[in-house]
A and B are shown apart, each in its own frame.
Chain A
Amino acid sequence: MKNITRSTDIKMTTGWRMIMALLVLTAVSCSEDFLERKPKGQLTYDTFFETPDHAVWATNAVYQQYRSWEMCAFPWIGITDIISDDADKGSTPNDALYVLELDEFTFDGTNAAITGAWLGHYQAIFRANLAIDNIPGIEMDSTLRARLIGECRFLRAYAYFRLVQWYGDVPLITTILNDDQYYNQERTSKELVYDFIETDLLAAIEALPEKDEYASADLGRVTKGAARGILAKLYAVQHDFPKVIEQCDAIINSGEYSLLARYADNFLPVGEHGDESIFEISAVASQAAIVGPGATPFNMIQGVRGVPNLGWGFNRPSDDLVSEYEAGDPRRQATIIYVGEVLPDGSTIVEDNPEVLNERYNQKAWVPAHSGLQDNGPGNIRILRYSDILLLGAEAYNEENNPVKALEYLNMVRTRARGSNNFILPNVTTVDKSELRESIYHERRVELAMEQNRWFDLARWGRLAEVMSLVQPNFVASKHVLLPLPQSEVDLTGGTLVQNNGY
């Protein structure tokens, strides 16, 4: 009896000791720290916007969004070139039918290009707002800080400028929204959006250096000239021609820019950030990358489809565009790749692809062979060239009854296009205001063809209805001068956002 009791005691003691030891060990892991876990290899919002580097990174991220699918592929090409009289859908008849809807004016607010462009530009605005809101709180060099904010304000303003030209009145989001603001934003009248864009661009002009004032490593950042150029376009949309002249002349007289001797060079690697380039979004094909982090789909979607196999073959230069060129204008050859033509680098001949009807490609989106796959596209996306500013200046001077100055700028462009061939593209000499206007409009079309300008030009000239109804029978003037808001935006706000007329 006694023995049994004793042995139980020993058991008890040993057992309890072990249990206590385990419980103590367990308690160590019990603390709340054990449950605090953070994403690996990522900063989090509560540790971001603290150093000067963060300010630079947040700004660079806005540029990156300009290389996104939404801002440079189907949505961008679709509602600039393809929707206009410059281009048709291209590719095989059944590929990406929603892009065909743009060409044929059968789209509505569910079209993926129209919703995509809206989304992509507001995402750029989101990134810019985040940077503009947070960079001022970072302790850093004040010049650099001002410049970065200036870059972001330009990139935000330019996104709004596109939106307002496509959709008319749009919600004006100028900061990061709180969750109680998600669903109740209204459309801001386009005049107020213009004012906002103007304020941003004036601030950017103030803060940004000229192209040659940047360090070499910063080539490609937004410049004072770029901000002036977009501001000139904004004023043109508002038909405020004295201010257009003011901005254009500021660029022209800055000495920063000149026309390249060869028009076609603008679209080759040699023309990237050349003397004629005022603003372009840089891209690069990283070595060894299937799809590198610096690339864009811009070249692929417009690349030759078939043999050679360079891409998908969208954005076919239209018959209407082809007929716009004057006889012998070398810009036609520099803009369009035809079947049987040798590629600009002399590498190969484009063969006929029977699945693609009336094959033709946008040569301005062509890039030489590069590493990686087709979507590792290295071509910079040209946004604003000096010749655009010259023609805009010419247009404004003509509207302001100064044909001499207008002719000077216009013929600078024609002279360069002509090159050494004096049998083509004679100087325009008319001083009749409306004749000269037509000459300038014609020159803008051929000089800037397939560079995503045409739709915006037609819109600000008030000529969308007149021009588009000739080539697209479905075009309804009262409706199609503005694109529909994405239908999901109308639905999600319960109608607070009112759809555009006719959609």
Chain B
Amino acid sequence: MQMKTLRILLYSLLWLPFTSIAQTTVTGLVLDANSNEPLIGVTILEAQTDHGTLTDLDGRFTFVVSSADPTLIFRYTGYSTVEIKLDGRDQLEVKMAEEATLFDQIVVVGYGTQKKSDLTGAVSSVKGKDIARIPTANVEQALQGKVSGVYVAPSSGTPGAGAVIRIRGTGTLNNANPLYVIDGMITYDASNVNPEDVESIEVLKDASAAAIYGSRGANGVILITTKGGKTRDKASITASGYYGVQQVTKQIDLLNAAEFASAYNDLRGQQFFPNPDSLGEGTNWQDEIFRMAPISNVSLSANGGSEQYQFNFSANYFSQDGIIENSHYDRLTFRINGEYKLNSYMTIGHNLSNSSTREDVAPGVVNTAYRMPPVYAPRDSTGDFSDPTFFGLAIANPAADLYYKSDNHTTGSRLFGNLYGEIKFLKNFKFRTNFGIDKISWQSEYFEPKFEVSASQLNLNDRLSVSNGTEGKPNRNDWIWEQTLTYDHTWNEHHITALGGYTAEERNGFWLGGSRENFPGTADEILYLSAGNDTTQMNFQGANDEALTSLLFRVNYTFKNKYLLTVSMRSDKSSRFTKANRTGNFPSASVGWNMTDESFVQGLNFLDRLKLRASYGVLGNQASASGYPSTGAVSSALYGIFGPDESLNQGATLLSLSNANLQWETSRQADIGVEMGFFDGRLAMEVDWYNRETYDIIAAVPIPDYVGSQADPVVNTAQVNNQGWDISANWRQGGTVAYNFGVIVSPVTNSVEKLAEGRSEIFAAFLQGEPASHTIVGLPIGSFYGYKVGGIFQTQEEIDGSPTLGGEKPGDIRYEDTNLDGILNGDDRVYLGSPIPKITYSFTAGVEWNGFDFNADILGAGGHYVFNAKETFRFSVYNWEQHVEDRWTLENPSQTEPRITNGGHNYKVSDRFIEKGDFIRLRSLSLGYTIPTGVSSKAKIDRLRVYVTGTNIWTSQEYSGYSPEFPNAGNTYEVGFDFGGYPIAKSWQAGIEIQF
């Protein structure tokens, strides 16, 4: 459908009428404003016409203009565009300046904007065009590798999925996700933003920048600014689209049917399969669930305005089929941003978007495809799904799951944005009121027909479940109202900007749903709850809410543009805490020194910019205290069953002890940064060192079980440190061959400094009852933990002479007696590595020449490990990974691969399943061509670019699974576990962008 839309667009463009009338000749010279060197290949256009030319090797041009008093437009890559009205002249000397360097940019900060050179905090800025190259519905994913100090990992490969983002390390044991602010509206979910609507994304990393967000700033803040209108002669209309195909990045090496049969014979010690080789390849179950899947996107936007009003209108349709059969996501987004100057002192405006989404959810089949023995075909000879019940054991046929459990979809609608008004008064004051809204509604339907594949894969009654929101994904009705007053004054060499404000916000979540069974049919028009059997009905409803009021204050002061000072403070009152503990104050201060104009810097001719800055402040995190943590809630539905008809009698009581003294987590952050510019601003470098200490982390303190509380009471207790460097460097060269290179390196060390009183460790990620994650003071959060493989027992004598767990046979793993006490037991389990990368890095390169543009993004992470948890589950006889081909037998006395077993000793939690997580990935590779203006302008097209892009097309990883990234948005101590989720895809796209 999208392709069709594109085609119509293209055809209509070609039909635009061509015109051409010649009149006056103009000659001239174009020079670099800085060096006075002639510029070669500058594009010169006559406004409102299709005429254009280029400067020659001497920077000269000759040009015949058609209109009476034309305006000429000079464009050159890497330079600011110049427009000159001819005013009757026939000779011109034009000077073009290179575009603003990194240092002169205006960046968005909390509740305002600032010149980069005046910033005293650590703020990274990403332009919209730099994230638009990644084909994704979700800007979170597009941020990967774009910002120093920011770790981004896709939360899943599910179409439309977001990402888990950690800014400057992992700051808590709980919710470590950053705060999102979209055009001033605070939210926790940026999934509705069309990446093409993004003007810029700013990441507030240090205390100075984030403290204005107070009790929610501790894990960093991501500000997303969408495109506003621009004053211009005529409105600009942009149409763009791409189409691509995706596939899984790799397949996991599993045994084929012959190998499986032989392994099974070894396992049983008998020829269960008399002739394994005859089974050949069998079924590759991964082929049964994965597919080539299309991804496409079409956008149309109009942008323009006058002195009085500016507007940006956009429409976007994104559609992605998942690489797993039957999964799909699409989203239709409309946006209207506008700003209106009512008179000389009043302005009103809005940024409003509405997005409609549809998600088709496939059942979880990655695990079952991984486990299914390849000796089965998806369907048997009669065409029915084969019953894969392997010797009476429960294994689900993933092909049947896909067939029967895919009628599952959710549609959503989200109205998001803000309305604002500004009044300027007296000379220096500006009052702004901003009202933000976020309304979300969901509608989910899941129908599971009656079916029977096997005794363990069946549904005895067809069931329709319908919901408007769920507890995990509620409908939302959130609003914020902010009043701010700004004072701005310059006198002599002083400049001061002061901001004060009051804000209030409320967030409401609610959900409602039900189900019935036994429908009179399975057609879509039958499947409404009322058609089902009412004696089978179930329903649920719930809601939650919270409120926050805040006072905020900030002063920026500069003296001589050299000495910079920022002081800020936010005071939050949160409904999550009791009255006595409700108020939190979050101050910060920072200083900067622009040394560029100091004499000792002036003397260094290679260095043309130098700024030092330092900040310190206190931030909070209340997201860890979710819900109503201070209220003792009475649980109901704890039914007693009484009477001859065994009816449910209401039961209710308090199950857990609450903590009325709970407060937010507190983080104290120090940052020292240096910004440098070399070689006329071509090379920009920024280096920050930071130290983040999070105190009072909310942790459930274990109390003895004899207390009888169902949940451990949560208290503010733990402490975590993150220390690291944010390093970025950018080389940018304009000209005929314009190019840029960028490097980002972000090393970080994470260490738990303290856990709760009386608690020295947190065990998590239990696999067969044994913990695989162990959080302990002195090590990173969620470190892997278990036995160390020492080798393979070759003989019974060796077993008899070694500490053992009991029951080992030759060919079994010899676990190390790490504490050398001669006994092998739980005390020998040790630290086996951290899931947190010690370093993340990325490289970017871009070249533009003669209309061609080329971009490459490479990113990677290193120094961490991945736990292949999916391999440890062996409730039935599942398929094995390829490495068991090297298994220990009497004939093959392997020193590394144990004899074949199905679970048990060799599957204890150990470093057998831990693999290096290091990877480097070609995130994006794109080649584009912009049709020469002379050609495109004949079709009244200002700009026409076509391109091809490859995404994730190459990855070098040591990990055996699909991809080595396994973040966890919920908590931070069960990270890096591959439980067999939806893998990410690689893709190729071709696209077109037209502006006219």
Contacts and interface: CB of A to CB of B under 8 A. Distances in A.
Contacts, number: 276
B543 A355 contact: no
A97 B904 contact: yes
Contacts of A308: 455
A48 B634 contact: yes
B574 A35 contact: yes
A115 B654 contact: no
Contacts of B93: none
Given A36-B575, A39-B631, A15 B423 contact: yes
Contacts of B48: none
A282 interface: yes
A35 B582 contact: yes
B877 interface: yes
Interface string B705-743: 111111001000000000000000000000000000000
Contact of B707 (A40, A46, A126): A126
Contacts of A41: 541-543
A289 B517 CA distance: 10
Interface stretch (A21-29, A252-260, A450-458): A21-29
A334 interface: no
B114 to A, nearest CB: 25
A61 B652 contact: yes
A231 to B, nearest CB: 22
A325 interface: no
Interface in A165-183: 170-171, 173, 177, 179, 182-183
A205 interface: no
Given A283-B641, A289-B538, A64 B651 contact: yes
A122 B705 CA distance: 7
A45 B515 CA distance: 32
A277 to B, nearest CB: 13
B606 interface: no
Nearest to B579: A32
Contacts of B502: 26, 30
A148 to B, nearest CB: 11
Contacts of B346: 15
Contacts of B707: 122, 126, 173, 177, 182
Contacts of A282: 640-642, 646
Nearest to B627: A39
A173 B706 contact: yes
A74 B647 CA distance: 26
B632 to A, nearest CB: 3
A433 to B, nearest CB: 41
A183 B703 contact: yes
Interface in A74-112: 92-98, 106, 110, 112
B653 A306 contact: no
Interface stretch (B161-169, B231-239, B327-335, B385-393): B385-393
Interface string A14-58: 011011001100100110101111111111111110000110111
Given A42-B635, A61-B638, A35 B653 contact: no
B549 interface: yes
B582 A171 contact: no
Contacts of A95: 875
B902 interface: yes
B389 A216 contact: no
Interface in B928-958: none
Contacts of A93: 904
Nearest to B710: A123
B705 A110 contact: no
A287 B874 CA distance: 32
B820 interface: no
Interface stretch (A137-145, A192-200, A399-407, A487-495): A487-495
A60 B651 contact: yes
Interface string B792-835: 00000000000000100000000000000000001000000000
Nearest to B661: A179
Contact of B652 (A54, A177, A352): A54
B423 A19 contact: yes
A298 interface: no
A487 to B, nearest CB: 10
Contacts of B596: none
Given A35-B549, A39-B631, A106-B806, A64 B638 contact: yes
B652 to A, nearest CB: 4
Contacts of A110: 826
A12 interface: yes
B652 A92 contact: no
Interface residues of B, number: 97
Given A30-B549, A182-B704, A306-B392, A287 B639 contact: no
Contact of A44 (B631, B705, B709, B875): B631
Contact of A220 (B643, B706, B875): B643
Interface stretch (A127-135, A410-418, A435-443): A127-135
Given A30-B504, A309-B456, A354-B392, A45 B634 contact: yes
A15 B431 contact: yes
A119 B703 CA distance: 11
Given A37-B546, A293-B639, A26 B504 contact: yes
Interface in A242-296: 272-273, 282-284, 286-289, 293-294
B391 A354 contact: yes
Contacts of B546: 37
Given A57-B650, A216-B644, A489 B704 contact: yes
Contacts of A112: 769
Nearest to A43: B634
A126 B483 CA distance: 49
A29 B632 contact: no
Interface string B529-565: 0000001111001111111110000000000000000
Interface in A189-227: 216-221
Nearest to B635: A42
B483 A23 contact: yes
A111 to B, nearest CB: 9
A220 B641 contact: yes
Nearest to B457: A309
A361 interface: no
B631 A92 contact: no
Nearest to A31: B549
B706 A15 contact: no
B638 A94 contact: no
B573 interface: yes
Given A26-B481, A93-B904, A293-B637, A306 B704 contact: no
B191 interface: no
User: Which 3 pairs of residues, A with B, have the shortest CB-CB distance?
Assistant: A126-B708, A306-B392, A60-B640
30 contacts: A15-B345, A36-B575, A38-B628, A39-B628, A44-B632, A45-B658, A56-B650, A57-B636, A60-B639, A60-B640, A61-B635, A92-B875, A118-B706, A123-B708, A123-B710, A124-B708, A126-B707, A126-B709, A127-B655, A173-B707, A218-B643, A221-B640, A282-B641, A283-B646, A288-B516, A288-B536, A293-B639, A307-B389, A488-B705, A492-B702
Interface of A: 11-12, 15-16, 18-19, 22-23, 26, 29-30, 32, 34-48, 53-54, 56-65, 92-98, 106, 110, 112, 115, 118-119, 122-127, 129-131, 170-171, 173, 177, 179, 182-183, 185, 216-221, 272-273, 282-284, 286-289, 293-294, 305-309, 351-356, 371, 378, 486, 488-489, 492-494, 497
Given A11-B425, A218-B642, 7 more contacts: A56-B650, A61-B651, A64-B640, A217-B647, A220-B641, A288-B461, A355-B392
